[in-house]
Every structure is written in structure tokens, then in C-alpha cells.
Chain A
Amino acid sequence: MLNNAQPRLHAAGLVHHFGPIKAVDNIALTLHQGEILGLLGPNGAGKSTTLRMLTGVLAPQAGRVLVCGHDLCTRPQAAKRCLGYLPEQPPLYPELTVHEYLHACARLRRLPRRQRASAVATALADCGLDAVARRLIGNLSKGYQQRVGIAQAIVHRPDVVILDEPTVGLDPQQIRQIRGLISRLGQRHSVILSSHILAEIQAVASRVMLIHQGRVVLNASLADLHRQASANIRLGLVQAPDQAALTAIPGVASAERIDTRHWRITPAADSDPRLALAAAAAQNNWGLFELSGGQHTLEEQFIALTTRDDGAAA
């Protein structure tokens, strides 16, 4: 049996090329029990290809994947039993009812006959599908079809649930519901969630991996990123002084110019120079109009990390 310290999913050195295009270039990934990992990246970064390799749809050209300790390549059946996957386009049979479909999925995933009815009932309840259980999937709205897609991924109670862009094409109300559902899933399963929308990852994930051009360019817990974000101070001054005047203020470790009127201030350890900054600005008549703990760091990192190489390549 697995102990809780062992990762639920472990991938190392994954490579996949489509002809000359390096879709995935040496990606490593570890997912622990109860973790929600957000896989972030611009369109075409290699997220979906990575997920297809993690689920055994595509064989990696190099590297290996372990799901709950089973190698996906040498023991695919044992590994796949521990996996639930919702691809970008939910794999649904429109001619079946929700209930028939989930039963068929439970049978396909080799759930013992005795457990099937209760597993389907739990999945229906978890995804809020009780009211539409007897309706044809083809007649459901996009939001409900997406939920059926999530239900098929969790019906066999897998340890690892992988969701590829689960909120694409949904309205804001539905997006909120799906996010709530994913947060609840994180309590019992380990989840990988891919998206190119930053806010989505920030809302539910506990750790973020940023993929760009087939490589991991950032891998950090969301708490760390928030700490970094709140540590930085964004300062707006109408009449900007020179850098030396700002770094001379007690508690300021460094000051970096963002544009003509904005500065990013990094405080010295364990100090908050905001009061001192406000006092200095008033005293020297710098025209203070903004002073805030920076909330945009993740977005700035996202932009910085995903545009840098484009410029180099161009």
C-alpha cells in the first residue's frame, strides 16, 4: 500500500516531438496526496501533450510516468485504474443518458459490479447531476456536459484526477460552480488542472507550474508566490526622485523603476517601509498617488517568463 508521503503521480524527463517541433521537452512533475496542481501556460505551450502522456494516451518518446507507484508504460492497466482524465473535449456519448453513460464508464474502469451503483450515485451527487441523471447527454447544456465529463473522471474514485481546461466555453456562473467542484475534489483526490487563464489557477490550485515552449519555467507553491507578491510594494509618484533617494529611506532594500511614474520597492527583511515612504513623499513633494502591496506579481511573472524566449527566437 502507498503511504501518504509517496507522490501519487511522478513523471520525469518527459519528451515528445512532433516532427521537428518540440512539443514537450524534458518535463518533470510530482503530485502529492491532496494537492491541486495548476498547469499554466499560453496556448500551444505543451500542456495538453503533457497531460496526454500522463494519462497514457500518448507514449512519451523519453522519460517515465509512475501513477501510485505503477509504471504507466510497463503496467498500464494498474496505473490507469488510479487515473481519471477529462480531456479538453469531454468524451461523451450523446445518445446515452447520464446514468447509462456513467454506468458504462464504471464498467470500463473495471469497478466491481457491487460497487457500481453506489459509485455512480456518488459521482452524480458530487457533480450536481442528480436532476439530469435520466436525460440524454446530447440534450444537456455545455455546462452540464462538462460536469458529466468531470463525473466520468471521478466515478471510479481514482487517486489522481487530471482536468484539461475544464472551464473553457462556460459562462461565469458555471465557471464558479466548476471551480467549487474542483476545490471539493482536492479534498479526496490529487488533482492536476490545466488552464491558460491565470485567475482560474489562482482560485483553486495549491501549486503552480508554468510551461512555456515545452519546458517548465516556474514551479512554486501559490503561498510562496503570494508571499513574494505581498512583499513587493508598488509605488506611484508624479515627480519621481532618483533611485538613490528611494533606497536611502530606512527599510527599503532596493527600488526598481517600472515606468516613468511607477516603482517596485523591495523591502528589507522583516520591515514594512510603507509609512516611511509616504512620509518621505509628503516631505519632498513627490506627488504620491499610489502605494500598494503588489498583487500582480504572478501575472507579471507569467508575462515575463512567456515572452522572454519569444523575443530571443524572433
Chain B
Amino acid sequence: MSGLLAIARLELQRLFVAPLAWTLLAIMQLLLGLLFAMSVTEIVQNPERINAYSGVSAVVGDGLLRFAAFLLLLIVPLLTMRTFAGERKTGVFILLQTAPTTTRALVLGKFVGLMSFFTLALALVALMPLSLLWAAPLDLGLLGAGLLGLWLLTATFTAAGVCMSTLTREPVLAAVATIGLLLALWLLHAVSYLDWQPLLLGHGVPVAAIARKLALVSHYESLLRGVFASADVAYFLLLTALFLLLAMQRLLLERG
């Protein structure tokens, strides 16, 4: 356990002494802040958009959290690419390989370190809609479910990025592969609209239904709508665990 924490702490420390993490935080805040300001202005100018089905939380929160998810899709791979690929490239990975820690602690430590950083970033995002608390009645349940969804989505992104990072010693390659993988999981959502049931061994394969079950977005969307289903949460947790396990396996194989 102490090995895991030592690695997580080192990861976090390295993030905050270098400009990259600060810059990413700043850009994310700037873009989301602009969007937030625009949607609040929109509500002020067209108050008739608020109705019984769609309140302030839904109008502001939904747009903000959707855009945040898209931004994180691009930001997470930039930080996860440094974990193993970047450290291999600079030769510093040997420091962790010769430290008296397990492979599990190594992978989980990196994951926990990065997730601490992203949790902080999400807390800053959450402050925007929460700042409306004194001005409008907010549906905290709806916002909470959406934020939980965003956090789980980020955890899945991070685990996928860490996994891709263990596969190569080229950080840029790791980042590109991660973005590609995440976009593919995202695009499965589009497949779920296809009306196509190919025959396999005499049975119709429900491609659309399978794609809907596998796509990242469909699970995120139900949380954004305020539907807290354990199946959606389990989907993100399982996918995260799968990527982390694959990363550990890859590192064990590398030892020979």
C-alpha cells in the first residue's frame, strides 16, 4: 500500500511542478467557463426555455458536462502518455522497476496519482453550476449524477490511456492510440442507430443493441439525464478494471 501511495504521490508531485498540468487546467477552465457564461446568458435572455421538464440544472449542466467529456477525451491522453511510454523514453522507468513495489502497486499508483489530478479538475468544473445555487433552484441530484458520470468516464479514459502507455516507448504514439481507442468506443454510439440485423447461423444479430451496450456515450447519457443505474456504473468500473489489468499483464510480460 505504501508503495502505491509513494508512486501516486510522485506522479502528482511531478504534474504540479511542470507547466503542462497547469496549462491544461487553465485551458479547460477557460473553455468551459466561456460555455458556462454563454449558457447562463442564454437563459437570462430567453427565460421561456426553462419549463417543467428542463430546468436550469438540465440546460446549464447538460451542455457543460457534455463538452467537459469531449475536452477530457483530448486532455487525458496527453497526461497518461507520460506514465509509462514517457518514462521508458527518458530511461527513468528503471527507477520504478528496481523499487521494491509490485506491478499492481505500480499501475494503480500511476492511476491514483492521475485520478487525483483529474478529480481536482472536475471539482473546479463542478463549481461553475454550483455557483448558481444562490440565484436559482438547482436539481442537485441531476447535477450529482452527471458529475459522477463524468468522473467515471474520466477514470475509464485514464485507465485506457495508462494501458496504451504500457504498450510503447513513444509517448506520442501512446496518446494517438488512446484517442483512437476512446473515439472508437465513442463512435459505437452511432452504430447503435443502425437498423441492421445480419444473419449469423440462422439468427439475427442485434448489432444496434450490442453497440448501445458497449458504447461509452450511451452509459454517460443516462447518468446525464439523472438516471443512476447500477448497470451504467458497473460498465465504467469494469472497463476501468479491464484496462488496468491489461496494463499490469503487459508490464509483467515485459520483464521476460
Residues of chain A having any CB pair with chain B under 8 Å: 16, 55-61, 76-78, 80-81, 83, 85, 87, 89-93, 95-96, 100, 104-105, 107-110, 152
Contact B91 A80 (CB under 8 A): no
Instruction: Pick from A16, A57, A60, A78: contact of B100, CB below 8 A.
Output: A78
B14–A89 contact, CB under 8 A?
A: no
| A-side contacts of B98, CB under 8 Å | 55-57, 80, 83, 85
Residues of chain A contacted by B6 (CB below 8 angstroms)? 104, 107-108, 110
Is B99 touching A109 in the complex (CB atoms < 8 A)? yes
Establish whether residues A80 and B94, one from each chain, have CB atoms under 8 Å apart when the complex forms. no
15 residue pairs bridging A and B, Cβ less than 8 Å apart: A55-B98, A56-B97, A57-B94, A78-B100, A80-B99, A80-B100, A81-B100, A85-B94, A91-B95, A96-B17, A100-B17, A104-B9, A108-B96, A108-B99, A110-B2
B67 at the interface (CB under 8 A from A): no
Residues of B within 8 A of A93 (CB): 14, 92
Chain A residues near B14 (CB-CB < 8 A): 93, 95-96
Interface centre among B9, B95, B98 (most CB of A within 10 A): B98
Give bound CA distance, A60 to B101, whole Å. Answer: 19
Minimum Cβ distance to chain B for residue A202 (Å): 28
For the complex, what is the distance from the CA of A108 to the CA of B3, rounded to whole Å?
A: 6
Contact A77 B102 (CB under 8 A): yes
Partner pick for A57 among B3, B10, B17, B97, CB 8 A cutoff: B97
Given contacts A89-B91, A100-B13, A108-B10, A59 and B101 within 8 Å (CB-CB): no
Q: Does B7 contact A (CB under 8 A)?
A: yes
A257 vs B96: C-alpha distance when bound (angstroms): 54
Query: Once the chains are docked, how many angstroms separate the CA of A92 from the CA of B6?
Result: 16
Report the minimal beta-carbon distance from B203 to chain A, rounded to whole angstroms. Answer: 46
Decide yes or no: A107 and B18 within 8 Å by CB, A56-B98, A85-B98 being known contacts: no
Interface residues on B, range: 20 to 34
Interface of A is mostly: loop
> Given A59-B256, A76-B100, are A108 and B17 neighbors across the interface (CB < 8 Å)?
no
Main secondary structure of the interface of B (DSSP, over half): helix
Inter-chain contacts of A110 with B (CB < 8 A): 2-3, 6, 100
CA distance A46 to B7 in the complex (A): 31
Please state if A108 and B7 are interface contacts (CB–CB under 8 Å).
Answer: yes
Contact A95 B93 (CB under 8 A): no
CB neighbours of A91 from chain B (8 A): 91-95
Least Cβ distance of B154 to chain A in Å?
Answer: 24
State the 6 A-B residue pairs at the shortest beta-carbon distance, nearest first. A91-B95, A89-B91, A80-B100, A91-B92, A77-B100, A108-B99
Kindly state the separation between the CA atoms of A81 and B3 in the bound complex, as whole angstroms. 12
**Chain B residues within an 8 Å CB radius of A58:** 255-256
Q: Chain A CB within 10 Å — which of B18, B91, B96, B256 has the most?
A: B256
Which residue of B has the minimal Cβ distance to A96? B17
Roughly how many angstroms separate A107 CA and B12 CA in the complex, as a whole number?
14
- Closest residue of chain A to B3 (Cβ to Cβ) is A110
A95-B17 Cα distance, complex, nearest whole Å: 7
- Give which listed residue, A77, A83, A104, A152, contacts B101 with CB less than 8 A: A77
- A68 to chain B minimum Cβ distance, whole angstroms, is 12
Q: Which of B3, B95, B97 has the most CB of A within 10 A?
A: B95
Central interface residue in B14, B97, B100, by most chain A CB within 10 Å? B100
- In the assembled complex, the CB of B15 is this many whole angstroms from the nearest CB of chain A, namely 9
Select A104's contact among B2, B10, B93, beta carbons within 8 Å.
B10
Give chain B nearest CB distance to A268 CB in angstroms.
Answer: 51
Partner of B10, one of A59, A61, A81, A107: A107
What is the bound-complex CA distance between A78 and B95, given in angstroms? 16
Known A57-B255, A61-B256, A91-B92; further 20 A-B contacts with Cβ < 8 A: A56-B255, A58-B256, A59-B256, A76-B100, A77-B102, A78-B100, A85-B98, A91-B93, A91-B95, A92-B92, A93-B92, A100-B13, A100-B17, A104-B9, A104-B13, A107-B6, A109-B99, A109-B100, A110-B2, A110-B6
For A17, the closest partner residue in chain B by CB is B256
Task: Assess whether A59 is in contact with B255, with CB atoms less than 8 Å apart.
Answer: yes
List the B residue with the shortest CB-CB distance to A152.
B95
Q: Which residue of A lies closest to B252 (CB)?
A: A59
